[in-house]
Amino acid sequence: MNNSTTGMANERDMFSAEIVNRGIESTGPNAGSLTFSVRVRRRLPDFLQSVNLKYVKLGYHYLINHGIYLFTIPLLVVVFSAEVGSLSKEDLWKKLWEDARYDLATVLASFGSSFSPCPFTSCQGHVPFISLILHALNPKMMNSSLIKVTREQLMEAARKSGKFDEESLEFQKRMLMSSGIGDETYIPKAVMGGNPNTATMKEGRAEASMVMFGALDELFEKTRVRPKDVGVLVVNCSIFNPTPSLSAMIINHYKMRGNILSYNLGGMGCSAGIIGVDLAKDILQANPNNYAVVVSTEMVAFNWYQGKDRSMLIPNCFFRMGCSALLLSNRRRDYSRSKYRLEHIVRTHKGADDRSFRCVYQEEDEQKLKGLKISKDLIEIGGDALKTNITTLGPLVLPFSEQLLFFGTLVWRHLFGSKSDGNSPSMKKPYIPDYKLAFEHFCVHAASKTILDELQRNLELSDKNMEASRMTLHRFGNTSSSSIWYELAYMEAKESVRRGDRVWQLAFGSGFKCNSVVWRAMRRVTKPTRNPWLDCINRYPASLN
């Protein structure tokens, strides 16, 4: 009885009463009587007296995501403990074994129905289930020895073109040899054939047809989905944007249906593949029981620079041919055959800053030759965009322990950082959360060896975590927005993706943008029958010089 009285008193302490309305009843049987209204509120901790509200964001997010566990489990424990405490040892034994209320199967079934997430919804506001059935790359291009070139062959073609002086040739050679790119990448025939003008609409359409139709042919063949079944089409290509658009080229080639929702994204850089997935996700949410295809590519020949500006020669050294095609679905019948479930997309745009806006910039040089200019501040700007992106992504994916460590270190540096002595530089260094606890696989955009080195150092990733990115850069070069899919194809060829594994794809792009997408494997992914790595996967991982 005393315990019950104490519990009621403690419960009353958790609430506060407030009179919000006073008056006199004007009509009815109680006319002339005093009336008042009482509002009862649950008291909340006074966060403002302890820590600034902006530092509570991580805890708030965790509370929202795990509130059902934090509130329900303690309640069940209290109720169970109270019930057990009121029983004698004999009565307790009898109830456990004879009373259906304590039947183990009933308890487990109850917990399963209460806490298991619905397989056709995600954890973000009951978003309709969206899965990735298959991603396909270009087997026709990979099997063509006519466009596969070594670094020496590429330099010889540049020399024979007569467009570059000795200083420009030497600069490109140094960049190539230190780029991390190997000798099996793909360059359009127009470039290797010494064509004096590769930036023509004819050459651009020819290259687009080769890479896009090859990837889509594989996609439709392996998924057994007819082109007319596709309700949403998103195509992204940064540099080459003809009229009619690339999406119109695909619709015309495959004779897709007339009410298809098609979109063509241009000028969005190497992170546009994730933007395409984000757009397809939003459209699928508004159009249930549908398929969406996302095509990510870049036209190399159309942007091949033939001048002397070194900042514009850099893309010549890194960008190579490539294309990916993805099939997304929100159809319940596709749940069992899907490879990955879409978990999170986080997009960061730094275009409001002038330095970020101009760090990757297409313009003409002094000789009026068009090219893509790469700023020397790219790594610094990319690091700032990455910091913003992972700060937003962290609370969505990191375990609570890592969020707590990050929060504690932030508070410590804020309160005591200025008082720490010079012998403790670690106190001034921000805590980098261990993202290896949040993801099993990493697909970091294979831009260049220097950028991958910097990302690995800043995120404190292992060589194994970066293996797919480095091997993709070595085998295929920088294929722009499709590179993260060549990296995932590498993991699948290695049969390293298992059910429940989380995959983080991270890409950067002009603007300046940094985008992340998180997938969860819905089953163990076995080695595919068609994959651009199959003819060389036994040679990887390779030792890189």
Q: Which of 138, 389, 478, 515 is catalytic?
A: 478
Q: Which of 290, 474, 514, 515 is catalytic?
A: 474
| CA 65 – CA 78 distance, rounded (Å) | 22
The two three-digit tokens of residue 115, written as one number: 């806490």
Residue 441 appears among annotated catalytic residues = yes
Q: Are 447 and 320 in contact (CB under 8 A)?
A: no
Tokens 């076995």 label which residue? 526
End-to-end C-alpha distance for the chain, whole angstroms = 77
3-state secondary structure 91-154: HHHHHHHHCHHHCHHHHHHHHHHHHCCCCCECCCCCCECCEEEEEECCHHHHCCCCCEECHHHH
Nearest Cα residue to 523 out of 495, 545, 543? 495
Q: Which of 236, 237, 441, 465 is catalytic?
A: 441
Residue 514 appears among annotated catalytic residues = no
Q: Beta partners for 292? A: 232, 328
Phi-psi region of 500 (alpha: psi -120 to 50; beta: other; left: phi over 0): left
Q: Which of 236, 237, 264, 270 is catalytic?
A: 270
Residue 445 appears among annotated catalytic residues = yes
Reported as half-sphere exposure (CB side, CA atoms, 13 A), residue 318 has a value of 23
Q: Which of 349, 389, 514, 531 is catalytic?
A: 349
Q: Which of 237, 330, 359, 445 is catalytic?
A: 445
340-349/261-265 β-pairing: unpaired
Residue 270 appears among annotated catalytic residues = yes
Q: Are 521 and 499 in contact (CB under 8 A)?
A: yes
Q: Which amino acid is at 353?
A: D
Residue 36 CB neighbours (<10 A) = 9
Tell whether omega for the bond before 528 is within 30 degrees of 0, i.e. cis: no
What are the catalytic residues? Answer: 270, 349, 441, 445, 474, 478
